[in-house]
Structure 1
């Protein structure tokens, strides 16, 4: 795997984290030795991190694309940093990354997972990107208590929830042995009303962008996804512009880039690569 962690600081003009970045959460790039004309920007999800998108990155790199995956402020460091960051920091980092790539490549496409799918939709609209692939995009989130968190975010910092590591998941990133446990203790063991509200702000902005998005758009939904319903992919692929395709994989869950079902994971990643290659 040809990967480098020496990438521009796309978050330079946004919230600056106080805690160290976990090894698995480092922003990364896969760049060919000889110059290529096409790049793909990958956007990770809410409380996620760049290491989660190594698999699609590897597949796209092997297909001839240079690939970049920035890290949003507040992600992959600490819960305190997360609470200090906002939707503008997350979207702004992806925006600055795309602007950087647009100056250096003839074509720049986007792939986004979960909240990253919503962010990728916003960025595609902002830059009139021509190709977009979304994995369980957070455009419809039935379980998100928007009305409650809008109020609770002012009085409740975080609420403890049950979380434990699932050893059946196989991660593709290079990290430290305790990365998953550390991030679980900082992020996934809590609900953050303020963070959930920032997610809702991202979602609303993405939904408002959909009808303006020119990009040919692939959206993949999972039959085993407990978080994002098929409706989200239907919503974005029903937009009036571009060539749009909805792929529903009955045997895949929310964490598509490293799903437990390897066959389903392979199907989703192959569909993303084919879409980036222009196979409609």
Structure 2
């Protein structure tokens, strides 16, 4: 079995073949890379699952690339990732942050076995983000807050294109208006110390999703990047239990 090293973190797609009939599509967040999904990918592969984490369009290159990337291009780059898992009998889509929005929308486009949504942005911590459709013409980029205090180092851009935030808001809108249509089994994970996405976001999804089989894990000491923070082992174990129930 091929193991991806933790350091240096990967900034490109990765694929890990497993023995289980179930495959996992891992969708990273806005301005991030598959590297933020790497610890989860290794964990799930060690549990026997096949894992594929695509690099989303506009990511892993430069902020300027993301500035001219549309929501449809981002979504399509994730959706195409299902092709790498077409040999699996069952597929679960696991998304972090913007990846959670995309994962929910994927479930409406094709048949999958289940969803895991982590830190999905229903309510944004920075209210100025809602003004991005206008602000992008005034201030094209904003400096990103340093997240080097995570136990595992993130991989992301150091600047955020405001036009990209505008595209993220469009994905958020599509997700919210479709939330009641999402019917597959869903595990929702929310960090209660998340400053990027307000902590009530997870419970909102839990209360409004159409799935009759939904569960919510709230991690009291976790911030936005669930896959890298101090309670990640609890999150990973819960995801493994969720996947086991789907087999």
- Whether these two folds match at TM > 0.5 is yes
Once the two structures are superposed, the pairs formed by residues 9-24 of structure 1 within 5 Å of their partners are: 24=10
Q: 2:148 aligns with which of 141, 144, 166?
A: 166
Q: 2:135 aligns with which of 152, 173, 188?
A: 152
Please give the per-residue CA displacement for 1:209-268, whole angstroms capped at 9, x wherever unaligned: 211112111111112111212322122222232300111111111111111x2xx12111
Kept in 2: contact 1:258–1:265 (CA 8 A): yes
1:82 aligns with 2:52: no
Kept in 1: contact 2:67–2:162 (CA 8 A): no
**1:118 paired residue number:** 101
Between the aligned partners of 2:92 and 2:192, the Cα distance in structure 1 is 26
**1:19 paired residue number:** none
Once the two structures are superposed, the pairs formed by residues 166-245 of structure 1 within 5 Å of their partners are: 166=148, 169-171=151-153, 183=156, 187-188=157-158, 190-238=159-207, 239-245=209-215
Kept in 2: contact 1:3–1:31 (CA 8 A): no
Give the unaligned 5+ runs of structure 1. Answer: 5-21, 173-179
Number of matched pairs: 243
Between the aligned partners of 2:79 and 2:187, the Cα distance in structure 1 is 20
Once the two structures are superposed, the pairs formed by residues 120-135 of structure 1 within 5 Å of their partners are: 120-135=103-118
Please give the per-residue CA displacement for 1:160-205, whole angstroms capped at 9, x wherever unaligned: x364462553249xxxxxxx5xx5xxx33x3422011011011111
**2:236 paired residue number:** 269
- Tell me how far 1:136 sits from its aligned partner: 0.9
- Tell me how far 1:59 sits from its aligned partner: 1.4
Q: 1:66 to 1:109 in 2, by over 3 A?
A: same
Higher gyration radius (CA): 1
Between the aligned partners of 2:98 and 2:84, the Cα distance in structure 1 is 21
- 3-state SS of 1:29 partner: strand
Between the aligned partners of 1:271 and 1:229, the Cα distance in structure 2 is 22
Kept in 1: contact 2:188–2:215 (CA 8 A): yes
Question: Mean alpha-carbon deviation: is it higher for 230-239 or for 104-113?
Answer: 230-239
Give the unaligned 5+ runs of structure 2. Answer: none
Between the aligned partners of 1:102 and 1:163, the Cα distance in structure 2 is 35
Between the aligned partners of 1:273 and 1:222, the Cα distance in structure 2 is 18
**2:44 paired residue number:** 60
- Tell me how far 1:3 sits from its aligned partner: 4.5
**1:28 paired residue number:** 14
- 3-state SS of 1:269 partner: helix
Kept in 2: contact 1:43–1:69 (CA 8 A): yes
Give the TM-score, by structure 2 length. Answer: 0.89
Between the aligned partners of 2:200 and 2:145, the Cα distance in structure 1 is 27
